[in-house]
Amino acid sequence: MPPVLVGVAGASGSGKTVLASWLCRHSEATVISLDHYYRDLGHVPLDARSHANFDHPDSIEWGLAETHLNALARGEAIEQPIYDFRTHTRGCEVRRIAPGRLVVLEGIFALYDDAVRNLMRTRVWVDLDPATCFARRVARDVRERGRTPEEVRHQYERTVQPMYERFVLPTRRFADVIVRGDAPVEEAAGLVLRHAGI
């Protein structure tokens, strides 16, 4: 049986990764984070990289993401790039990923690109109120990405929220399943698995 592809989108901090991680642990799922397909900014001076707009869909290398998802859908392993969020570059190392029974693509733009979206059997939107999303974003970026709360707030106001409203939120209409990011993850995962036929 070929793998079932599932796309999980929503605002930054809505709970996409939590849902994808639960599916990985409990449903033989392989998780692909779209964040690792950000374009390498190694050619850009270091002090200018942090000013790039990572919340615009053009920041994603869509061709590579589509190629990898097609390979996974055929049951083939891929070598996923590893993106360093502290330096905004891709390292030389890659991560070899073999498809599970499910392949879950998670990221704010998981439902944005037509070709990528059309590979998905189940398209999921994770809903959560903006205040909670922002608080989660601050906690994550400070803990995992070496940012200060002030830097996170500035980026959120400058690009995250405007780009969410322009590019991400409109993709909600493509969702087959809408779940709450503050609901028990088991309930959300159950809805996803039922729609995916797992």
Q: What is the pTM of this model?
A: 0.91
Between CA 187 and CA 2 the distance in angstroms is 25
Q: Over its length of 198 residues, how does the chain's per-residue pLDDT go in tens digits? A: 889 999 999 999 999 999 999 999 999 899 999 999 999 998 888 888 878 888 999 999 999 999 999 999 999 999 999 998 888 888 889 999 999 999 999 999 999 999 999 999 999 999 999 999 999 999 988 998 888 999 889 989 999 999 999 999 999 999 999 999 999 999 999 999 999 998
3-state SS assignment for residue 52: coil
CATH number of the domain that 108 lies in?
Answer: 3.40.50.300
Q: Could you list the residue range(s) of the whole structural domain that residue 173 is in?
A: 4-193
User: To which residue do tokens 């970026």 refer?
Assistant: 141
Query: Quick check: 181 and 127 in contact, CB under 8 A?
Result: yes
How many domains are there within the chain? Answer: 1
Instruction: Flag whether 107 is in a domain.
Output: yes
Instruction: Flag whether 185 is in a domain.
Output: yes
Instruction: Flag whether 198 is in a domain.
Output: no
